[in-house]
Structure 1
Amino acid sequence: MAPRTRNLASDPDRPSFLEELYQGRFRWDLIHPFPEQQPADRERGDGAVAEVGSFLRERVDATDVDVRGSLPDGFLTELAGHGYLKLQTGAETGGRGLSSFNTFRVIEEAASWCLPVAVLMGIENALGASAFLRVLPPGPLADRVRAHVLSGGLSGTADTEPAGAANQGRTTTATLVEDGAAYLLNGRKIQVVNAPAGDLFSVTASVREADGTERNRLFFVDAATPGVRRSGPQELMGLRGLPFGGLDLENVRVPAELALAEPDPEHTSRLTPAVSLLVVRGRLYIIAAPALAAAKLCLGWAHDFVARRSVDGRGLGEYEEIRRRLAESRAETFALESTARWSLLGEDQGAAVNLKFEQNASKNICSVLGWRIVERTLSMLAGEGYETAQSKQRRQVTPAPLERAFRDVRGLRITGGVDFLLDNWSAGRTLLSYYYPEPDHAAELAEEQAPPAAFGDDHALSERNREHLRFVREQVHRFGHDCLELVRRHPRRAELMARQRLLILLNRTATELLTMSLTLARAASATTAGQQDVQDLADVYCTAARARLAALLHRRHQEYGPGAVHDAVARLAGTPPTAQEPTHPTHDVTTAEARGTGR
């Protein structure tokens, strides 16, 4: 196991499947048998899921929310009053005391009716005041946050600034005053959920320490404090109705005891350590649960459409391509759900594994899978998919809100970090930490073939899936081998860190291998339990994933060069075409294709 100093997520006392994968080791024993929710916990979750579903269907018209861009009057107060914004805290704070996976299930159910409400619930339960109670040490700050949670007030996290969320530092500043008794905060925050109505906000700000260094720290700011001004609302392409806005802070006095005192982080991060820990798990609530709900809705809409439509006298479901697309969506939904289950169930059951790596990777895995399913469904439904729900209702067609799901789920690839940036960060900050300096098992990685490994009761898998399993093991070793060779070509880490496209491709390779592994592990355990149909789902998913891995490998090899051509083209991007240069070159498509140059 890598030492703690490698990166913030590593735990020398608990192994991680993805951490081992990063290092070219395939640890099937860590993910199989695949965890299952305990019956008592599942039963408790069933009741909470049914309750939230009934509440939302009675209280919220999802189409009206999307059209008006706002939630019903008084709805947020009711949502808080039912304890839906503090699902995991105990009864002593008015919470529900649910497990991590049941919290996920409740948010997924909410998303199946109104996705913006689910995202709001996810953010409050992941990054709101109730979530901070887990990480705050005893003292005045914990007392203040607990009082807020008990009152049922709304909260929010104010981190993003007009300059962008990707910057390591923050332009919002916190200056120590009154001989250390308080801080004065100055700056502007945008894209803050609950900014229009929240009472307590966690605000990131840059503090200049006594030694002259600057670091990000977290402050809890009462919205009623003089100098706090709300701005907005901000309107989004999708997720309409999500209460979004900004906070302007001008000489806002925050008592020193309302600043979260954290140890100096070992690694540079734009977020404070406490927020980083909450974000890792929280993305499953904010991103993965809505993505899974949308995927399941799309499956239902697609099957309904196929059942009632025909082309040239043949039922739509009789066509091969339609059947394949339905199968791919079912298989990707299974893979998405497998990723979420693995990332949360082990935590609930106290498994001796470190899930932080998988929880972090789940954001991109689940949001991209969800988006692929929605986009594929839209193509299948064609014009009916592109049409709004209210338009379908007027002409008495099943009013499936697919175009709304299209807008909403596309936003999930941006929420919590744009997907390609997260790939770059994960590879640069985490993956490379196992190869600089050269790993202890470099000699093992240098071998062309993976060392022999026993899979135990992999006989539960079909023959095709056993072959997929062998393929994954070989590819994990090859991945470690390629990473080792790559860092040897770039002995200076900063040089490789600058190759962003290459890092993105490396991380996408790792997450494809992770998703295949989790899908196969769940299929093996489910088959043992008598669920034979999952073999086909795993096979369909892994077959497509292998094609994507082949493409990623090809693109990685292309990126081993300096990439000068792309740099040159990018520099020309801002140059407008001259009058002699048509913006859209014309050519005979048939002739171009005959020459092998057509697309």
Structure 2
Amino acid sequence: MATSSRPHTVSRPQNLWHTPGVPSFLEDLYRGTFRWDLIHPFPVQDGADQQAGDRVLAAFGALLRERVDPTEVDVSQRLPTGLLDALVAGGYTRLQADPELGGLGLSSMNTFRIVQAAASWSMPVAQLLSVQNTIGVGSYLPALPPGPLRDTISARVRGGVISGNADTEPAGAANRRRMTIATPIEGGAAYLLNGQKVFTGNGPVAGMVNVTATVQGPDRDRVRVFFVDTSSPGFSVSAHHEFMGLKGFPAGALTFDNVRVPAELVMVEEEHNRRLTPELSRLIIRGRVHTIAGPSLAFGKLCLHWSREFANRRQVDDRPLGSFEEIQRMVSATLSEVFALETLAQWCLLGEDARDGERAVNLRYEQVAAKNLSSMTCWRMVDRTMSLLGAEGYESAQSKARRGAQPLPVERAFREARGLRISGGVDFQIDNWTSQVGIFWCYYPEPENARAIESEQVDVSCLDDADLTEPNLDHLRFTAHQVKAFARTCLALARRHPDPQELFAQEHLLIQLNQVASELLLMSLVLARTSRYGRLGPDSTQELADLYCAAARRRIDDLWRRITVEQPGEHASASAAWLAGDRWAHLMSDVLTETPPTAS
């Protein structure tokens, strides 16, 4: 790639993840600097905090087993009668809220553990709790100054309100503009909301929802967050959504028809030009770690359990299934990926619970990356486990129960895992968007460390204090070199395309670059955590780290091959011809393309 210099006149795109003066491991990785010192020694959960989580988990697990039949929820598509009241009474809808508001005062890590446990039993319950506790109205309290809005939200949280976040609209979540309009009335004392929202988690059962809407002004339009009481005239649930998975999860389409919202229930934030307000963006980024990574890890652990249970009871011609090489590879791959996802979750959340005096690290970049890393890894694990169990995996739990077989719900987990790749932003678009906003934010304008990026010298001082086996030291050395190679590629691309929009039009390239960075991130975290456990003793995870990093290196090598090899350019013309209906009509022969009728 060309490396000619370019003028420093390009404006930098807006990036809400960057915090001036606070280091970020992944942000520095994007810049070509491998900050091993930020992740090593790897953090661990405080013992007292873990015990507090253990106590809540014990009570919560008992409630799930007593009140929730996950197969019945999946079949009936309804949560059990009285479950919401029980969750409110137990404080599970206020996991992180202050005890004076009826909350449990849990840390971010323990909240994650609750969501993970719920997902391992019933995904609809997990999603309800995750939405409620991470992006519902109560989650805004830490950002609200003293005043009427804070007082109102505090009172509703204390009263046990169920809430949801209404942002996505029928036109699609990726659109910058919000078509729901808030019109000032009564001299600015209130607003009238008009519009529609879809895919609103908890919407059909919520007593209050936070709604994004556009306030039109003479100079510019502004997106604000409105806190809407669902008993307000003009509010209605216009449809209940039914998904491939999440059977029983209360999600719906909401209509706002001249819904009056007092001005004191509007959150006014700093000026911005993004489709999400800054605070909502921060909540969603952190919330996705719970909503996506929590269930992803839960399903991975279930896959480990199911794989062991199946392999230990099955034989092929009197030979134990677990003695076959390919089965061993499948089981060990899932084992290493569960360790990796657990590592990712701990890194993303333990820093949120850091105590005074501990080092401050910006985790926003990693929390963004966690969405795709966790959901895609989960998909590999569930798909692999489905293959391992064969027809028994594809068969529903209730069908297996009817014939007396072990009713492992692998088929249900498969449906739920596919949804995780869509929820919170479809996977490929998250990669594309992150590459633009996160990675190339570091290269427009040209970074001050451009000369260091171009240097052939690679800092491998991380090897000096890493307590790793030789194979894992080699993985660490590889990672440090790859971080520099990644930055060189990004710098060369930015120089080749002085106008960032020209580069951003190459979406497939950007997607693959972000995948490389994400793989390097998780390799780094796995090695840092493994180094903390050491090379010897019962807690050593050296084998798991080696397994995971070896597989990650193969994925990285494949990504680089696809990045560096020129791709055929016929995709645009072929796609345009097909979408226009001009060519290849014969490809649709012998199929019935009309939409089939559906039962009401």
How does the TM-score come out when normalised to structure 2? 0.93
Please show how residues 166-245 of structure 1 align to structure 2 within 5 Å: 166-211=174-219, 213-245=220-252
Measured in 2, the distance between the counterparts of 1:369 and 1:16 equals 23
Measured in 1, the distance between the counterparts of 2:258 and 2:542 equals 61
Letter in 2 for 1:543: A
Secondary structure of 1:225's aligned partner: coil
In the other structure, the counterpart of 2:445 is 437
Letter in 1 for 2:91: G
CA contact (8 A) 1:447 1:481 kept: no
Q: Deviations over 1:114-156 (max 9, x none)?
A: 1110111111110112211111121111111111101112111
Q: Which of 21, 29, 34 is 2:37 aligned to? A: 29
Q: Give structure 1 stretches of 5+ with no counterpart.
A: 585-599
Secondary structure of 2:413's aligned partner: helix
Q: Which of 285, 291, 314 is 2:319 aligned to? A: 314
In the other structure, the counterpart of 2:562 is 555
Please show how residues 455-494 of structure 1 align to structure 2 within 5 Å: 455-458=463-466, 460-494=467-501
Letter in 2 for 1:555: R
Task: Report the CA distance between 1:582 and its aligned residue.
Answer: 8.2
In the other structure, the counterpart of 2:132 is 124
Measured in 1, the distance between the counterparts of 2:530 and 2:354 equals 20
Please show how residues 275-294 of structure 1 align to structure 2 within 5 Å: 275-294=280-299
Task: Report the CA distance between 1:577 and its aligned residue.
Answer: 6.6
CA contact (8 A) 2:115 2:290 kept: yes
1:496 aligns with 2:507: no
Secondary structure of 1:252's aligned partner: strand
Decide whether aligned partners of structure 1 residues 577 and 566 sit closer, same or farther in structure 2, where only a CA change above 3 A counts.
Answer: closer
Task: Report the CA distance between 1:569 and its aligned residue.
Answer: 2.0
Q: Deviations over 1:536-593 (max 9, x none)?
A: 100000001001001111111135x6x6311122123334876877869xxxxxxxxx
CA contact (8 A) 1:468 1:542 kept: yes
Measured in 1, the distance between the counterparts of 2:551 and 2:498 equals 35
In the other structure, the counterpart of 1:521 is 528
Secondary structure of 1:34's aligned partner: coil
Name the stretch that deviates more: 87-96 or 527-536.
Answer: 527-536
Measured in 1, the distance between the counterparts of 2:253 and 2:155 equals 24
Secondary structure of 2:244's aligned partner: coil
In the other structure, the counterpart of 2:152 is 144
Q: Which of 364, 374, 384 is 1:376 aligned to? A: 384
Measured in 1, the distance between the counterparts of 2:287 and 2:264 equals 26
In the other structure, the counterpart of 1:573 is 578
Q: Deviations over 1:251-288 (max 9, x none)?
A: 111111111011102xx322111111111111111111
Query: Aligned residue pairs: how many?
Result: 576
In the other structure, the counterpart of 1:591 is none
Decide whether aligned partners of structure 1 residues 513 and 578 sit closer, same or farther in structure 2, where only a CA change above 3 A counts.
Answer: closer
1:15 aligns with 2:20: no
Letter in 2 for 1:278: L
Measured in 2, the distance between the counterparts of 1:385 and 1:580 equals 36
Q: Deviations over 1:205-256 (max 9, x none)?
A: 1111231x11211101111111111122110110111001111111111111
Task: Report the CA distance between 1:367 and its aligned residue.
Answer: 1.0
CA contact (8 A) 2:163 2:206 kept: yes
In the other structure, the counterpart of 1:247 is 254
1:352 aligns with 2:357: no
CA contact (8 A) 1:206 1:214 kept: yes
Q: Give structure 2 stretches of 5+ with no counterpart.
A: 1-10, 591-600
Name the stretch that deviates more: 515-524 or 103-112.
Answer: 103-112
Secondary structure of 1:85's aligned partner: helix
Please show how residues 317-332 of structure 1 align to structure 2 within 5 Å: 317-332=322-337
Measured in 2, the distance between the counterparts of 1:454 and 1:537 equals 20
Q: Deviations over 1:510-540 (max 9, x none)?
A: 1000000001111110226834541010000
Q: Which of 83, 104, 108 is 1:96 aligned to? A: 104
> Aligned Cα RMSD in Å?
1.8
CA contact (8 A) 2:137 2:227 kept: no
Secondary structure of 1:542's aligned partner: helix
Secondary structure of 1:511's aligned partner: helix
Measured in 1, the distance between the counterparts of 2:194 and 2:105 equals 37
Task: Report the CA distance between 1:449 and its aligned residue.
Answer: 4.1
In the other structure, the counterpart of 1:300 is 305
Secondary structure of 1:45's aligned partner: helix
Measured in 2, the distance between the counterparts of 1:431 and 1:410 equals 27
Measured in 1, the distance between the counterparts of 2:486 and 2:216 equals 42
Task: Report the CA distance between 1:32 and its aligned residue.
Answer: 0.6
CA contact (8 A) 2:237 2:253 kept: yes
Please show how residues 415-430 of structure 1 align to structure 2 within 5 Å: 415-430=423-438
CA contact (8 A) 2:469 2:535 kept: no
In the other structure, the counterpart of 1:595 is none
Secondary structure of 1:232's aligned partner: strand
CA contact (8 A) 1:87 1:95 kept: yes
Decide whether aligned partners of structure 1 residues 474 and 153 sit closer, same or farther in structure 2, where only a CA change above 3 A counts.
Answer: same
1:256 aligns with 2:263: yes
Decide whether aligned partners of structure 1 residues 468 and 141 sit closer, same or farther in structure 2, where only a CA change above 3 A counts.
Answer: same
Letter in 1 for 2:107: S
Decide whether aligned partners of structure 1 residues 558 and 571 sit closer, same or farther in structure 2, where only a CA change above 3 A counts.
Answer: farther
Letter in 1 for 2:50: R
CA contact (8 A) 1:4 1:11 kept: no
Task: Report the CA distance between 1:341 and its aligned residue.
Answer: 0.4
How does the TM-score come out when normalised to structure 1? 0.93
Decide whether aligned partners of structure 1 residues 148 and 529 sit closer, same or farther in structure 2, where only a CA change above 3 A counts.
Answer: farther
Percent identical across equivalent pairs? 50
CA contact (8 A) 2:286 2:367 kept: yes
1:534 aligns with 2:541: yes
